[in-house]
Amino acid sequence: MPTGSALSTTTSPTGPSTDRAAYWICPRGSNIRHATDIRPGALINGSAIKALGGCAITIPMATPNDQQPRSRLVNKRCPDCAEVVEERNLPSRDWDF
């Protein structure tokens, strides 16, 4: 368990959190996916967030509909994020923008 996890106090919103999942996203220019439990619909393209493993990542720009996202080919997962996902027992979903 890495120190510094005190920063990531999860403020759970009131009400039942249904669809909890870890979304594995590939930041721009990266060859590895990191996990976030923020719904991709709530993520802003180009913004910086902290992944579940504590990694700072940048949300990639959306891929035009007629193109295949480059991240589609990325299947490596960050071990730090994987550890947290396993700890929280979140179902994993790969997500491409």
Of these, 37, 80, 83, 94, which contacts Zn ion (CB under 5 A)? 80
Closer residue to Zn ion in complex, CB, 34/46: 34
Closer residue to Zn ion in complex, CB, 59/81: 81
- Residue 55 touches Zn ion, criterion: CB under 5 A: yes
Rounded to whole angstroms, the Cα distance separating 25 from 71 reads: 8
Running DSSP on this structure, what letter comes out for residue 19?
Answer: S
Rounded to whole angstroms, the Cα distance separating 60 from 43 reads: 10
Phi then psi dihedrals of residue 95, to 5 deg? -135, 130
Is 23 within 8 Å of 78 (Cβ atoms)?
Answer: no
Of these, 22, 26, 27, 34, which contacts Zn ion (CB under 5 A)? 34
Question: Rounded to whole angstroms, what are the CA distances from 46 to 8, 72, 87?
Answer: 21, 18, 28
Question: Residue with CB nearest Zn ion?
Answer: 78
- Residue 25 touches Zn ion, criterion: CB under 5 A: no
Of these, 22, 25, 26, 51, which contacts Zn ion (CB under 5 A)? 51
- Residue 78 touches Zn ion, criterion: CB under 5 A: yes
Q: Give the interface with Zn ion as residue ranges (CB under 5 A).
A: 34, 51, 53, 55, 78, 80-81
